[in-house]
Amino acid sequence: MSRYFLQLSYDGSEFHGWQIQRNANTVQAEIDKALTTYFRRKTETVGAGRTDTGVHASFFVAHFDCPDDDLEKKQSTHLHKLNSILPKSIAVQKIKKVHDDANARFDAISRTYCYYMHRSKNPFNLRYSALLTGNVDIDLMNEAAKKLFDYSDFTSFSKLHTDVKTNNCIVTEAAWHEENEKLIFTITANRFLRNMVRAIVGTLLDVGKNRITVNDFCKIIEQKNRCGAGKSVAAKGLFLVDIKYPYDI
């Protein structure tokens, strides 16, 4: 049995996130169904992490096991046939053979998310970007974003009553920039809590609109209380855009 990493992307609009759930349509369920149909044997995947309902991924990785030890040899054929089985909202781009004990979730070194916002109504942005109302101070939001590097416990930005053992994360990148009339927030960390990015974005917007100060932002983190943070922004503007792994995997 050989292990493979599957690189894929998906529009999360119609899915209840990545993780398989009872009575809910998920990306993992569609991937597992397509692999099982194609290989004619039950095939299950392990994803690099969970994405919430409505969140997208331009880059995602999952691993699966297969008796064929040379899938890469006819990769273009396999990818074409898998994509013909999958719904239009999911696409696979690459199959990579890895070590037998490689794990798409636990071997990931970092993950990067981008949150997209637009300033004026645009029908072509409705599905993948959130409308920003009012003015914001980007420099002030970036000043606050840098404070994330000083902390490791992000309970204040985590969805309540989750089953994780720790709320500690190491943030290595967090910044806002403008590009083609869009405001984009990029954040990289070794791991993320459920709802973490959307809660951080909502709270940083409060800073940018002068509802709270940078010092208030720090106090919110230190309180370790989700009720003190800002509202979570809409899921549709959030994309998982990159995942890093060791070179020798």
Backbone angles phi, psi at 101, to 5 degrees: -105, 10
**Residue 203 to residue 174: CA distance in whole angstroms:** 13
SS3 content of the chain, % helix, strand, coil (to 5): 30, 30, 40
The catalytic position among 11, 32, 52, 107 is 52
Task: Note if 70 is an active site residue.
Answer: no
Yes or no: say if 188 and 112 are a contact pair by the CB < 8 Å rule.
yes
Beta-carbon contacts of residue 214 (< 8 Å; ≥ 6 apart): 140, 143, 144, 147, 207
First-to-last CA distance in the chain?
17
CA atoms within 13 Å, Cβ hemisphere of 84: 7
**Residue 198 to residue 142: CA distance in whole angstroms:** 16
Helix axes 138-146, 214-223, angle to 10 degrees: 40
- What residues act catalytically? 52
